[in-house]
Amino acid sequence: MNTGATEAQAHEAEAQALFRYVLRLGDLSLVLGQRLGEWVGHSPALEEDLGLANIALDLIGQARLLLKLAGEVEGRGRDEDQLAYLREQGAYFNAILAEQPNGDFGQTMVRQVLIDAFQLELYERMTGSADARLAAIAAKSVKEVRYHLRYSSGWLVRLGDGTPESHVRVQTALDLLWPYTVELFAEDDLDRAMADSGIAPRLSEVHAAWIKRIESILAESTLTRPADRPHAWHGKRGQHSEHLGYILAEMQYLQRTYPDARW
């Protein structure tokens, strides 16, 4: 084997790794945005309807940038629409916290706080990424995410430190969703490779900052932090809960029924 061929292979492997990593980020935003979109027309107040729709659109905007980048990295001519609407479930790499059902409004806010704080700590550090394109996307997204967390944590404090009923509801939601947060920070070979090459921050560093931020929000909300348990989730490797299939069925319906439809 000559060196040229080896180099080409190494280059291809690097591109493939970056492709999968960018999909993890993009799919997290895409799936969470789609989930939040389910609230439109059903929110407890008109004002929340617009608030949640704004956040959903921010997330789908982030997903669009990330999936477009993923398509370029992959180099097989797939654009962001094809990646969003024509992949199978096993080719989605979001952590499965994002696909968990909305539940009541409090449960949606708990999921939102957990992911907003993760994205905030991640993107803040990614603005210095060795990949200039990811750095630019992070710089844009971090401003949006900072507002998302302000919105969701404001609600968590109101509900946690609200009535006895609202307190019980959000504590129950927190107990339910907390185990899924472990996957966000479970570093695998791909996360490690990205951190080694300076493309992404170390997940252990993101985790330390995240837990600090979450603990202060939980304290203000008078909520109790559940214990960490070993996780059995592998959404980041494409193994999902049963919920993602339903989300994709709804999200991809139009594109699959009317391929290449435009409006």
Partner 1 sequence: MEDKRQWPLFEVFIRARGGLDHKHVGSLHAADPAMALDHARDLYTRRQEGVSIWVVPSKAIIASDPAETDSLFEPARDKIYRHPTFYEIPDEVKTL
Nearer to partner 1 by Cβ, of 158 and 243: the residue is 158
Q: Is 227 in the site for partner 1 (CB under 8 A)?
A: no
Q: How far apart are CA 59 and CA 93, in angstroms?
A: 16
Q: Specify the DSSP class assigned to residue 234.
A: B
Which of the ranges 49-57, 96-104, 201-209, 242-250 carries the binding residues for partner 1, by CB under 8 A?
49-57
Distant-in-sequence, close-in-space partners of 27: CB < 8 Å, separation ≥ 6: 63, 92, 93, 94, 98
Concatenate the DSSP letters of all residues of 105-123 into one string. Answer: HHHHHHHHHHHHHHHHHHH
Find the shortest distance in angstroms from Cβ 199 to partner 1.
Answer: 32
Nearer to partner 1 by Cβ, of 163 and 257: the residue is 163
Nearer to partner 1 by Cβ, of 54 and 127: the residue is 54
Q: Is 51 in the site for partner 1 (CB under 8 A)?
A: yes
Q: Residue 81, Cβ neighbours under 10 Å: how many?
A: 15
Binding test (CB under 8 A) with partner 1, winner from 15, 38, 43, 54: 54
Q: How far apart are CA 17 and CA 9, in angstroms?
A: 12
Find the shortest distance in angstroms from Cβ 55 to partner 1.
Answer: 9
Find the shortest distance in angstroms from Cβ 146 to partner 1.
Answer: 12
Which of the ranges 6-14, 48-56, 177-185, 255-263 carries the binding residues for partner 1, by CB under 8 A?
48-56
Q: Is 146 in the site for partner 1 (CB under 8 A)?
A: no
SS3 239: strand
Separation in Å, CA 15 to CA 190, 201, 208, 249: 12, 18, 29, 29
The pair of structure tokens assigned to 172 is 């129950």
Binding test (CB under 8 A) with partner 1, winner from 158, 202, 234, 243: 158
Q: Is 154 in the site for partner 1 (CB under 8 A)?
A: yes
Q: Is 232 in the site for partner 1 (CB under 8 A)?
A: no
8 Å CB contact between 217 and 153: yes
Q: Which residues bind partner 1 (CB under 8 A)?
A: 45-47, 50-51, 54, 147, 150-151, 154, 158
